[in-house]
Amino acid sequence: MRRYAGVDSGSWNTKAVVIDHDGLVLGTSVVRSGADLAVAAERAYAEALARAGCEAADISAVWSTGFGRDAVAFADGSRTELDCHGRGAAFHVKGPLVVIDIGGQDAKVIRLDANGHRLSHRMNRKCAAGTGSFLDEIALRLGIETAALDVLAAQSTEEFELSSFCTVFAGTELLTLIRAGRRPSDLAMAAYRSLMKRVIAMDVFDGRVVATGGVVAYHPTMVALLSEALHVEVTVPPHPQEMGAFGAALAARDGAVSVGPGGDDARSSRSLPLAGETP
């Protein structure tokens, strides 16, 4: 059996996934990235291999993705997270589709055609608004763990808006609202709504919608709000948090063109097809 792996080196977490040739997930892992991305990548990979019950020698190819993709020294190729989240989502849901990925530090919207080919992508500006960090900040102000925000929001009965989308402004606005007697559950819900609005303003959503990333993995409220606002059933595929790593494993399986500026041939930009060449 041929097996493939993907490692998603994110700024917050490093994720690894091992798949078989049909794309069946055999093992996954999520570890903190910390300061040394290379070490985190090795740890995540080793864990995923152990869970898949195999060794590095059993893996036909491993590709990297994510912010630290070039730090994954053992990777045979790399693709951006824009590619891998799209690739992973398109494996589960047929295009045309729009993929929303909300990570801890960034958010992306990726549009794919009927064949799963990328049409465009949008990334959020250099700012925490519209990313998972926004929820962390809100949870901090409410004095709870981020993971508890979802349960809290479920008790919300009154709908209102946070007027600021800036993470810092929203934090202070929240304090004012608490003093004014607003219920924490309504505030938690308002925070989700604010994040949702930032995300849906990033692009036009005109196909099926798939949501990936850590935020939707742990915050079903976010998915419900997105579905309501976009008037479609937003699909959350299996392993949403590891979707980038899963996509990288698919890229390894498919032998996608690696455009990364790596040192060896497989990763070098030389593998980018020349005008008129077919790879």
Partner 1 sequence: MAAPRAELASTAALRDTMSAYYRGLGEAVEKKTAPVAWCTSVGPAELLRALGFVVHFPENHAAMLGAGRTANRYLPVAHAQGYSQDICSYLTSDIGAYLSGESPLSAFGLHGVPRADVLVFNTNQCRDVRDWFEWYGRQWNVPVIGINSPRSVGEVTEAEIGDVTRQLEALVPILERVAGTRLDSARLTTAMSAARDASALWERCLTTATHRPSPFTFFDGTIHMGPAVVLRGAPEAATYYGTLLAELEERTRTGVQAVPGESLRLYWDGMPVWGRLRALSTTFAEFRTAVVASTYCNSWIFSTLDPADPWRSMARSSVELFIARSDEPKERYIERMVKLYDVDGIVFHDCRTCPNNTNSRYGMPRRLSERLGIPTLMLDGDVNDLRCFSDEQAKTNIEGFVEQLADGRAAAGRAAR
Interface positions with partner 1 (CB under 8 A): 67, 79-83, 106, 115, 117-123, 125-126, 256-257, 259-261, 263, 268-270, 272-275, 277-279
Minimum CB distance to partner 1 smaller for 36 or for 228: 36
Q: How far is the CB of 114 from partner 1 (least distance, A)?
A: 12
Q: 86: burial class by Cβ within 10 Å (0-12, 13-18, 19+)? A: buried
Minimum CB distance to partner 1 smaller for 106 or for 173: 106
Q: How far is the CB of 270 from partner 1 (least distance, A)?
A: 7
Q: How far is the CB of 18 from partner 1 (least distance, A)?
A: 23
Tokens of 180: 């004014």
For residues 272 and 106, what is the distance between their CA atoms, to the nearest angstrom? 27
Alpha helices in the chain (DSSP H): 37-52, 81-92, 132-142, 149-154, 167-179, 184-200, 214-218, 220-230, 243-254
For residues 249 and 23, what is the distance between their CA atoms, to the nearest angstrom? 8
Q: How far is the CB of 147 from partner 1 (least distance, A)?
A: 27
What is the identity of the amino acid at 225? Answer: L
Sheet holding 107-112, edge to edge: 118-123, 107-112, 97-102, 208-212
* Selection from 139, 133, 93 nearest residue 235 by Cα: 93
Q: Residue 83 CA to chain centroid, in angstroms?
A: 11
Minimum CB distance to partner 1 smaller for 50 or for 272: 272
Q: How far is the CB of 90 from partner 1 (least distance, A)?
A: 12
Minimum CB distance to partner 1 smaller for 27 or for 247: 247
**Helix 81-92 crosses helix 243-254 at what angle (to 10 degrees)?**
90
Q: How far is the CB of 217 from partner 1 (least distance, A)?
A: 21
Tokens of 67: 């912010």
Minimum CB distance to partner 1 smaller for 33 or for 221: 33
Minimum CB distance to partner 1 smaller for 163 or for 269: 269
